[in-house]
């Protein structure tokens, strides 16, 4: 069983992770909801007219992308002023929360000399970055 | 192992403290262990409200195919009706998911995929976001309380998130009917697992395995119900890593949270206490679903008009569900949710086989 001080050390990194996650997730939720309301209420223009959606959202993904000329990967960035992509920004922040949290706890493990967990965090970041990068897009 | 008195093994699933539940809401909500007497005697008014919620949910689920029975019928409905209906159904799903002790994602994908006019590709993308948002909302509270443990979670999440990417890519490459069939079989398997799996509140771990000892996977959590600290450690870590690789693949493929699989592996196989298993499972989902969500995002399979009302509805519903926890018989709600899952699993399977379109 671990000595009490070891448990206390574990709690330090958990507290840091929790603090960063709390802030990042709240920011993501706010942007997500705000972007969506602006989109749904027509305050910002949409890439695909909302009225057309019922005939489009039943299509398979590739057909939808072709019919709407929707970009894949990070191509949405140039369309950020459009409603559906403004909403996506919130989703991207939520999906990226864990990256920031992992980066925040690596120094704690490094100071403790816990190389294995530094390596695990770096590997997890690499996995998330691989998924986020879009290099896998279109490879099925 | 230092534990409080009244230790019981193979107990029914026990639940996180109420404050934790409100934040943990969807992923692993557990009734208040300190209020068994209240739970055993549900307040009639709240019980009636929940029964009403379940009845409305059943009606809503049954009504959606009428609205979208044919493409023409669905197209004739104004666009805003569907996100509104989605919000309502997800709100009700959130209410029943918490007392049933299941994540919202596992209910969302088969029900919305089976009864709404959206293509399954977009439903899975939204399902991932529902599960991810729930896990992110629960994460800070679970980490601070020690019910989610980073040392336990990170090695498992690493393999699961890598495999979830592969699962997401495979899922998006398969035809809708193939995914529907596989989803139906998986949901029916989940029903069997949930109906039969036992829970062990504090499993006996005689000695940690070499890998968990090397990784120093152990911890202490304060169990308010027992009035003391509980030391825990795990064993069979290599087998756990293998199973989490498979679980990650399923999560990515079907866009579901995988708490239904995470908890039994952590608790029954690896020997983590039930509460730590539930909390750590939720935290693992935040990493696994992030990886898979990026794939769906980059492929263009995340439609805001489907995903956002679902997330908001589910999270508001889960808050109400958490409040109902202490006054409802969780076993009754659980049976109703199992019935709902059985129905939607059968629907997915029959839809995939073109028997019930």
Q: Look at residue A50 and tell me if it is in a domain.
A: yes
Q: Look at residue A66 and tell me if it is in a domain.
A: yes
Alpha carbon of A111: minimum distance to chain B alpha carbons (Å): 16
pTM, rounded to two decimals = 0.82
Q: Does B165 touch chain A (CB under 8 A)?
A: yes
Q: Look at residue A139 and tell me if it is in a domain.
A: no
Look at residue B201 in the predicted model and tell me its pLDDT.
Answer: 83
| A residues 88-127 closer than 8 Å to B (CB) | 88, 90-92, 94-99, 105, 116-117, 120-121, 123-124, 127
Q: Is the dihedral of CA B111, B112, B113, B117 positive or negative?
A: positive
> In chain A, how many domains are there?
1
Q: Look at residue A88 and tell me if it is in a domain.
A: yes
Look at residue B226 in the predicted model and tell me its pLDDT.
Answer: 74
Domain that holds residue A115: 4-133
- List the single residue in B169, B219, B308 with the smallest CB-CB distance to A140: B169
Lowest mean pLDDT: which of A50-54, A122-126, B6-10?
Answer: B6-10
Q: Is the dihedral of CA A87, B141, B155, B255 positive or negative?
A: negative
- Distance from the Cα of residue B233 to its chain's centroid: 24
At B166, give phi and psi (nearest 5°).
-60, -40
Q: Look at residue A140 and tell me if it is in a domain.
A: no
Distance CA B95, CA B324 (A): 8
CB B304 within 8 A of CB A87: yes
For residue B172, give both structure tokens: 């998006």
In terms of CA atoms, which chain B residue is nearest residue A68?
B300
Look at residue B237 in the predicted model and tell me its pLDDT.
Answer: 97
Distance CA B251, CA B21 (A): 23
> Which among B254, B133, B130, B155 is positioned nearest to A127, based on CA atoms?
B155
| A residues 11-70 closer than 8 Å to B (CB) | 11, 13-15, 17-19, 21-22, 25, 28-29, 32-33, 35-36, 39-40, 50-51, 53-55, 57-61, 64-65, 70
Partner-chain contact B79 A25, CB within 8 Å: no
Question: SS3 for A49?
Answer: coil
Look at residue B68 in the predicted model and tell me its pLDDT.
Answer: 52
Look at residue B56 in the predicted model and tell me its pLDDT.
Answer: 64
Q: Look at residue A104 and tell me if it is in a domain.
A: yes
pLDDT at B139 over 70: yes
The mean pLDDT of B100-127, rounded to a whole number, is 87
Each residue's pLDDT tens digit, B28-62 = 443 333 333 334 444 566 666 666 666 666 666 55
In terms of CA atoms, which chain B residue is nearest residue A82?
B304
pLDDT at B211 over 60: yes
Q: Look at residue A42 and tell me if it is in a domain.
A: yes
Look at residue B12 in the predicted model and tell me its pLDDT.
Answer: 36
pLDDT at A116 over 80: yes
C-alpha separations of B244 from A52, B159, B164 in Å: 41, 7, 10
Look at residue B202 in the predicted model and tell me its pLDDT.
Answer: 85
Q: Look at residue A92 and tell me if it is in a domain.
A: yes
Structure ipTM = 0.91
pLDDT at B220 over 80: yes
Partner-chain contact B291 A33, CB within 8 Å: no
The mean pLDDT of B130-151, rounded to a whole number, is 89
Which has the higher per-residue pLDDT, B9 or B171? B171
């Amino acid at each position: 069983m671990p000595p009490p001080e070891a448990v206390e050390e574990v709690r330090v990194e958990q507290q840091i992770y929790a603090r960063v996650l709390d802030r990042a997730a709240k920011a993501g939720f706010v942007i997500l909801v705000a972007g969506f309301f602006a989109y749904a209420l027509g305050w910002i223009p949409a890439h695909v007219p909302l009225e057309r959606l019922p005939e489009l959202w039943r299509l398979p993904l590739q057909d939808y992308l072709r019919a709407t000329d929707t970009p894949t990967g990070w191509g949405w960035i140039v369309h950020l002023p459009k409603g559906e992509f403004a909403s996506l920004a919130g989703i991207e922040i939520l999906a990226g929360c864990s990256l920031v949290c992992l980066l925040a706890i690596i120094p704690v493990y490094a100071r403790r000399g816990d190389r294995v967990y530094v390596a695990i965090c770096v590997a997890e970041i690499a996995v998330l970055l691989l998924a986020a990068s879009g290099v896998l897009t279109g490879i099925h | 192992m230092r534990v409080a008195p009244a230790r019981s093994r193979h107990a029914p699933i026990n639940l996180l403290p109420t404050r934790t539940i409100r934040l943990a809401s969807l992923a692993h909500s557990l009734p208040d262990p300190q209020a068994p007497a209240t739970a055993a005697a549900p307040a009639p008014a709240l019980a009636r409200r929940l029964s009403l919620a379940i009845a409305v949910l059943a009606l809503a689920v049954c009504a959606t195919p009428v609205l979208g029975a044919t493409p023409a019928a669905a197209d004739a409905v104004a666009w805003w009706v569907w996100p509104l209906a989605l919000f309502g159904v997800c709100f009700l799903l959130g209410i029943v998911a918490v007392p049933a002790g299941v994540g919202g994602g596992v209910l969302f994908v088969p029900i919305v995929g089976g009864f709404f006019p959206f293509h399954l590709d977009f439903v899975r993308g939204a399902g991932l976001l529902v599960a991810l948002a729930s896990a992110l909302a629960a994460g800070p509270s679970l980490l601070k309380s020690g019910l989610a443990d980073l040392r336990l979670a990170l090695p498992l999440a690493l393999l699961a998130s890598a495999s979830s990417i592969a699962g997401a890519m495979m899922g998006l490459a398969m035809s809708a009917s193939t995914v529907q069939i596989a989803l139906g079989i998986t949901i029916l398997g989940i029903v069997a697992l949930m109906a039969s799996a036992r829970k062990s509140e504090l499993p006996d771990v005689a000695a940690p395995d070499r890998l968990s000892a090397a990784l120093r996977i152990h911890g202490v959590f304060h169990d308010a119900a027992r009035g003391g600290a509980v030391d825990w450690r795990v064993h069979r870590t290599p087998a756990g890593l293998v199973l989490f690789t498979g679980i990650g693949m399923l999560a990515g493929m079907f866009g579901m949270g995988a708490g239904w699989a995470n908890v039994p592996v952590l608790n029954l196989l690896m020997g983590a206490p039930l509460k730590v298993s539930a909390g750590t499972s939720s935290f693992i989902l935040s990493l696994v679903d992030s990886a898979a969500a990026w794939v769906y995002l980059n492929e263009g399979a995340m439609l805001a008009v489907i995903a956002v009302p679902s997330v908001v509805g589910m999270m508001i519903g889960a808050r109400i569900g958490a409040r109902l926890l202490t006054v409802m018989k969780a076993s009754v709600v659980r049976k109703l949710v199992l019935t709902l899952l059985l129905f939607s699993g059968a629907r997915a399977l029959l839809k995939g086989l073109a028997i019930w379109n």
